[in-house]
């Protein structure tokens, strides 16, 4: 019966991240610097709000787009923090995590044989969704431009098949982010083209040296921009699975249809927790961000001292150092690090072929774990 399966499903694979984890799962005494989730607990007031909603029997279906109170809070939060205005009645959809928001976006806008530009190295969750929609991912190399998509690279990759460009900033795995001036350059290329912009801004609250700027704040491209965001990273709520979409009304009405048939609505209990996060927890992200910045500075100093070629992250909680390897892949290096060095990093090739020679290191860990892992990495490099 296997030959009768959807050929698109058969063509995609489990992510390189998961393959790597499966191979090193049985190794003992490994310090892992791999996980891309906050090491903070969800703030108590948010957990209490979820518990209260449960005890108040708020356990039924909600409006497909989410409870209106949460959509209003999302609207107010984004206007206050990023100067982008979306109508809670018809331009905001609450989703089951940012991942589902990405899925319904691609399924709404893509037709077979369309092309989507991805600035690589890039999080591996986009390309399979593009493939499942029958479209094709086109990777633009950012490794020589501080991991940022330039207007020249963007223009060089646009064809008559280009339907969308993904801007995942701050970036997983590189930590790169955009300034307003850099976004202005991209807007100059896109403003007169019938190309959607998917701005994945899930790390928008974790920016260190300048305030996050959303490309949706540029009026020239607002009507073609979809913003994906959520509470997982900003409020340490990964398990609550709350994301959201911001899109112009003409587009969100079609996205809502896909969302409705996909999940009906996001978890009601999680929605009330998210409402608490966005109304009473606006200071929570800053406390986490301050801690991440201290860890970033410590890890950067250590990696530079080891002689590694590395950019300092502007956001998120990842480093993407380049290793002086010649006759092995990043995947093979990852296995060597795990088995001999007893430290686990994510192979760069998990983030497209443009990640060859790189490894992703997460600093969403306490200082003791970071110090121990970096000590082992340094010892490993000294004997190579």
CATH topology for 2-42+284-382 is 3.90.1150
Query: Which ranges in the chain are annotated with CATH 3.40.640.10?
Result: 60-280
Query: Which ranges in the chain are annotated with CATH 3.90.1150.10?
Result: 2-42+284-382
Q: Which helix (H) or strand (E) holds 181?
A: helix 180-190
Q: Mind listing the pLDDT tens digit for each residue in 77-99?
A: 999 999 999 999 999 999 999 99
Q: Tokens 């991942």 correspond to what residue?
A: 99
pLDDT band of residue 18 (cuts 50, 70, 90) is confident
Alpha carbon distance 123, 154 (integer Å) = 18
User: Does position 26 have pLDDT exceeding 80, yes or no?
Assistant: no
User: Does position 14 have pLDDT exceeding 90, yes or no?
Assistant: no
Q: Tell me, what's the pLDDT at 326?
A: 77
Q: Mind listing the pLDDT tens digit for each residue in 349-361?
A: 999 999 999 999 9
User: Which two structure tokens, joined as six digits, stand for 128?
Assistant: 């399979």
- 60-280, which class in CATH? alpha beta
Instruction: Report, as an integer, the average pLDDT of 29-37.
Output: 90
User: Does position 341 have pLDDT exceeding 90, yes or no?
Assistant: yes
Q: Mind listing the pLDDT tens digit for each residue in 265-324?
A: 999 999 999 999 999 999 999 999 999 999 999 999 999 999 999 999 999 999 999 998
Q: Tell me, what's the pLDDT at 99?
A: 97
Q: What radius of gyration, in Å, describes the C-alpha atoms of the chain? A: 21
Q: Mean pLDDT, the chain, as a whole number?
A: 95
Q: Mind listing the pLDDT tens digit for each residue in 124-181?
A: 999 999 999 999 999 999 999 999 999 999 999 999 999 999 999 999 999 999 999 9
User: Does position 17 have pLDDT exceeding 80, yes or no?
Assistant: no
Our CA angle for 371, 372, 376, nearest 5°, is 115
């Amino acid at each position: 019966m296997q030959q009768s399966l959807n050929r698109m499903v058969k063509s995609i694979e489990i992510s390189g991240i998961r393959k790597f984890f499966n191979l090193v799962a049985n190794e003992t005494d490994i310090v892992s610097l791999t996980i891309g989730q906050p090491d903070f607990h969800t703030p108590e007031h948010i957990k209490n709000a979820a518990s209260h909603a449960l005890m108040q029997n708020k356990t039924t279906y909600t409006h497909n787009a989410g409870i209106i109170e949460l959509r209003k809070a999302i609207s107010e939060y984004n206007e206050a923090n990023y100067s982008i205005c979306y109508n809670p009645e018809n331009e905001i959809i609450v989703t089951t995590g940012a991942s589902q928001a990405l899925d319904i976006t691609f399924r709404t806008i893509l037709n077979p044989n369309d092309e989507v530009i991805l600035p690589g190295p890039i999080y591996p969750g986009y390309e399979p969704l593009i493939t499942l929609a029958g479209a094709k991912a086109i990777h633009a190399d950012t490794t020589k431009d501080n991991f940022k998509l330039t207007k020249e690279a963007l223009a060089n990759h646009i064809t008559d098949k280009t339907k969308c460009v993904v801007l995942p900033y701050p970036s997983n795995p590189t930590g790169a982010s955009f300034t307003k001036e850099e976004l202005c350059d991209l807007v100059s290329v896109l403003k007169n083209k019938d190309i959607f912009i998917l701005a994945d801004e899930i790390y928008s609250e974790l920016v260190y040296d300048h305030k996050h700027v959303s490309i949706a704040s540029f009026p020239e491209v607002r009507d073609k921009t979809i913003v994906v965001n959520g509470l997982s990273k900003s409020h340490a709520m990964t398990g609550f699975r709350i994301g959201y979409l911001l899109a112009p009304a003409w587009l969100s009405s079609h996205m809502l249809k896909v969302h409705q048939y996909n999940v009906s609505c996001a978890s009601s209990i999680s929605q009330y927790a998210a409402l608490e996060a966005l109304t009473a927890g606006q200071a929570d992200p800053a406390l986490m961000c301050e801690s991440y910045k201290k860890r970033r500075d410590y890890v950067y100093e250590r990696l530079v001292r080891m002689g590694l070629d590395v950019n300092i992250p502007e956001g998120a909680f990842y480093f993407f150092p380049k290793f002086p390897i010649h006759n092995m892949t990043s995947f093979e290096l990852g296995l060597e690090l795990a088995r001999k060095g007893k430290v686990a990093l994510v192979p760069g090739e998990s983030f497209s072929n443009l990640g060859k020679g790189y490894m992703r290191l997460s600093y969403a860990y306490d200082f003791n774990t970071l110090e121990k892992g970096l000590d082992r990495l340094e010892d490993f490099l000294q004997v190579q």
